[in-house]
Chain A
Amino acid sequence: MIEFHNVSVAYKKKPVLWNVDLEIKKGSLVAIVGPNGAGKSTLLKAALGLVPLSSGYVRFNDKPLAPREVSYVPQRENVDWDFPVSVLDVVLMSRYKGWFNRITEQDYKIAKESIERLEISDLLDNQIGELSGGQQQRVFIARALAQHSEIYFMDEPFAAVDAKTESIIANILKDLTKENKTVVVVHHDLQTVPEYFDQSLLLNVRKVAYGDVSDVFTNENLIKTYGGRLNVLEDISLEMGR
C-alpha cells in the first residue's frame, strides 16, 4: 500500500498540492485526472522525492517510499531525444545496478522481452529520436517494465500517441494489474478513464475524490474537480443564449 499523508507541495510559495491524504492499495490501477496545474505530475514527483514536501509524508508498506521501488515513465517532453542512445540502450539502463555495474546475459534477455511486449523489437537499434511519438512512448514503458518494480508511475503515457500504441499501453496496464503491481497514471482523457482504469483520483490541488471509477466519476465530482471554470462557462453561455 502506498500512503500519502497530509502531503503539501508549494512552488515559490504558491500551493500546488494541499493536504492530500490518499491510500493506494496494492494491485490498484489508478488514473489521476484534473485540470492543468492541478498538481497531477507533482503528486508523482512528490512521492518519488523529486520535489520537496512542505508537509506530510509518503510511505510504502509503512516505510518511506524509496525511489528504487518505483518504475517511472516521464512525460515525453522531459526527455532529450537527440541523445545518442538506441532503443535497446535506453531499456538496458533500467538494468544498471549501482556504481560498479555489469550487464549480464539475463539483463539483455529481460530488456529484449520488454521491448517485445511493446512490439518495437524491429526498432531495437534505432536511435530514439528516429522513432514516432507513439514508439518513443513505448520505449519508456518497456524500460519501466524491465525495471521489475512493484510500483509503476506514468506521467501522461497516452498523450498524443497513435491508436495502436494506445491499445498496447492499455493492455500492458491491465497485465500489470493482473501481476498484482500497483500502477498510477496521470491521464488527460476523461472519456477513456472507465475503460482503462479501475480507480481514479480526482485532483485539483486538493483531493476531490478517490475510489473505484464507477463510484467517483460522478457529475458532481467532475464539476468540483474542473471547478468554477465549467460553471462560469455555463453561465456565460446562458447569458449569450438570451
Chain B
Amino acid sequence: MIEWIFLIALLVSVTCAISGVFLVLRRDSLLGDSISHSILLGIALVFLIFESRDPLLMTVGGAIAGVVTALLSKFLSSRLPIDTSLGVVFSSFFALGVIIISFTARNVDLDPSCVLYGNLELLPFDTIGEIPKAFLRSLALFFLVLGFLLVFWRVLLVSSFDEVLTKALGINPKVVYYVFVCLISVVTVLFFEMVGSILVIGMLVTPAACSLLLTTRLNTVFLFSIAISIISTILGVKLSLSIDAPVAAGIATAGLILFLIVLFFAPKNGVFSKFIERLLTRYRIATEDLLADLYRQTEKGFYVTPKSSISRFLIPGLKLRGLLEGSSQGGFSLTKKGHDAGALVIRKHRLFESFLEQEIGLPPDHLHEISEKVEHFITEKSESELRESIKSEKDPHGKVIP
C-alpha cells in the first residue's frame, strides 16, 4: 500500500512541478493559487447540477471555473490592481463552493479537511482490479501535461517572454494564456482529491522557485524542478507516514525545507554564498591595503614593520602565500613576491589617480579617497587600458607609478 502512496505522490508532484515552471516564469503564481481555490466552485456546481462525482465532469467544471476566474479578474483589473481583483474573485468563488458543498453534499463523502489538504493516503483503497484509480488518473495526467509541454513549450516560452513578438509570429497571446489557465485548472481539479486546493500551489511553484535560484537555463530549470519534486516527495511521504500527518502536507513541508536549503546555499544566488563572497572580498581588500601600505613603507626606506601594526588576522594568510616573512629584528617584511603584489596595488591606485586627473579633470585633493576604493576592482584588462592612456611615469602627487 505504501508503494502505491509513493507512486501516486511522485506522479502528482512531478506533474505539478513541470506545470508550474511556466506559471512562475509568467509571474502568475497568484493566478495559480486563485485557480486552485476557484475550482471548488466548479466541482460543487457539478455536484449540484449532475449529482455526480464523475472525474470528467468535475474536470470540465473546474476548468470552466478556472477560466472564469482568469477572465473575471482580468476584467476587474481595469479598475483594480490585478492582485486585488484575483483576491476578490477567488475567495468568493471558494466561499460559494464551500456553501454549495455543505448543503448539497451532506451525503457525499467530501469533508472540509479534504478540501484543505486532500487524502492521498486513502486513495490506494479505491482500485480497478489491483491498480488504484488514482494512480491511473495521475499517470494519464502526467502524460497529458508532458505531451502538452513538449508540443507547446516554444509557444509558452515566447508568450511568457514577449507578447509583442508572440503577436508578430501570428500567435494570439491571450489564447495561449487561457489554454494555459485550462491546463492549470485541469491539473488542480484532478489532483484535488489527493492534495486539496491549498497545498497544490506549493507543489506547483516551489520546485520552479528553487530551480530558478540554481540555474539560468530553461531545460535545466525543468530538470531541477523534477529532481526537487522527487526529493521532496520521498522526504515528505516518509515524514508524513512516520508522524501520521497528511501526505500532501509532508510533501509541501519537505519542499519548503529544500527551498530554504537552496535559498541559503545556492552557489551563485544563495544567501550564504553571497555572505561568503562578501567576506572573501573584504579579506582581499584588507590584504591588498596592507600590502600597499607595506610597499609605501619600503618606498620611504622602512623595510621592517613591527608586528603590532599589522592586523593579527592577516598575518597567517600572507605568510602562507609567501608574501610576508618574519625578519630577524622581530617585525615583518615583504618577500620579493609580496613586494610585487604591493607594487601591483599601488600601480592601479596611482594609474587611476592619474586617469581621474587627466581624463576627468578632478583636482588633486579629490583623487586619493576614491582611488583607495577603486584600486581593488581594477582588472588586468582595465589596468592595461589605463596604462595605455596614461603616458606619464608619475602620479599627480609626483610619486612614481611602479
Give the size of the chain B interface in residues (CB under 8 angstroms): 23
Q: Which of B117-167 contact A (CB under 8 A)?
A: 151-152, 154-155, 157-158, 160-162, 164-165, 167
State which of A94, A98, A129 has its C-beta within 8 Å of the C-beta of B165.
A94
Measured CB to CB, the closest approach of chain B to A154, in angstroms, equals 12
* Cα A82 to Cα B160 with chains together (Å): 12
Residues on B with beta carbons closer than 8 Å to the beta carbon of A93: 154, 157-158, 161-162, 165
Interchain CB contact under 8 A, B218 and A85: yes
Over the window 163-199 of chain A, the binary record of Cβ atoms lying under 8 Å from chain B Cβ atoms (1 yes, 0 no) is 0000000000000000000000000000000000000
- Interface status of B17 (Cβ within 8 A of chain A): no
**Could you say which of A55-63, A68-76, A204-212, A234-242 contacts chain B?**
A68-76
- Interface status of B292 (Cβ within 8 A of chain A): no
State which of B155, B169, B171, B221 has its C-beta within 8 Å of the C-beta of A84.
B221
Interchain CB contact under 8 A, B155 and A86: no
Over the window 80-96 of chain A, the binary record of Cβ atoms lying under 8 Å from chain B Cβ atoms (1 yes, 0 no) is 10111110011001101
* Cα A107 to Cα B25 with chains together (Å): 25
* Known contacts A72-B168, A96-B169: A85-B154 contact under CB 8 Å: no
- Interface status of A11 (Cβ within 8 A of chain B): no
- Interface status of B215 (Cβ within 8 A of chain A): yes
Q: Which of B149-194 contact A (CB under 8 A)?
A: 151-152, 154-155, 157-158, 160-162, 164-165, 167-171
Interchain CB contact under 8 A, B216 and A68: no
Of listed B151, B155, B168, B216, residue having the most chain A CB within 10 A = B168
- Interface status of B212 (Cβ within 8 A of chain A): yes
- Interface status of B217 (Cβ within 8 A of chain A): yes
* Cα A90 to Cα B157 with chains together (Å): 10
* Cα A82 to Cα B26 with chains together (Å): 12
* Cα A99 to Cα B158 with chains together (Å): 11
* Known contacts A74-B162, A99-B152: A86-B217 contact under CB 8 Å: yes
Interchain CB contact under 8 A, B165 and A101: no
* Cα A82 to Cα B217 with chains together (Å): 10
State which of A70, A84, A89 has its C-beta within 8 Å of the C-beta of B212.
A84
Residues on A with beta carbons closer than 8 Å to the beta carbon of B217: 84, 86, 127
Residues on B with beta carbons closer than 8 Å to the beta carbon of A79: 162
* Known contacts A85-B157, A99-B155: A68-B218 contact under CB 8 Å: no
State which of A82, A89, A100, A103 has its C-beta within 8 Å of the C-beta of B151.
A100
Residues on A with beta carbons closer than 8 Å to the beta carbon of B215: 84
Interchain CB contact under 8 A, A97 and B169: yes
- Interface status of A137 (Cβ within 8 A of chain B): no
* Cα A86 to Cα B219 with chains together (Å): 11
Residues on B with beta carbons closer than 8 Å to the beta carbon of A74: 162, 164
* Cα A230 to Cα B155 with chains together (Å): 48
Residues on A with beta carbons closer than 8 Å to the beta carbon of B157: 85, 89, 93
State which of B160, B162, B168 has its C-beta within 8 Å of the C-beta of A67.
B168
- Interface status of A136 (Cβ within 8 A of chain B): no
**Which residue of B is nearest A72, CB measured?**
B164
**Which residue of B is nearest A101, CB measured?**
B154
* Known contacts A67-B168, A68-B168, A72-B165: A84-B25 contact under CB 8 Å: yes
Q: Which of A96-152 contact B (CB under 8 A)?
A: 96-101, 103, 127, 129-130, 143, 147
Q: 15 interchain pairs (CB within 8 A)?
A: A49-B167, A67-B167, A80-B161, A82-B212, A83-B25, A89-B218, A90-B161, A93-B154, A94-B169, A96-B154, A96-B158, A96-B171, A98-B169, A101-B154, A101-B155
Q: Which 5 A-B pairs have the closest CB atoms?
A: A127-B216, A67-B167, A67-B168, A84-B216, A93-B158
- Contacts A93-B162, A99-B155 aside, 8 further interface pairs with beta carbons under 8 A come to A48-B167, A74-B162, A79-B162, A84-B221, A90-B161, A98-B171, A100-B151, A101-B155
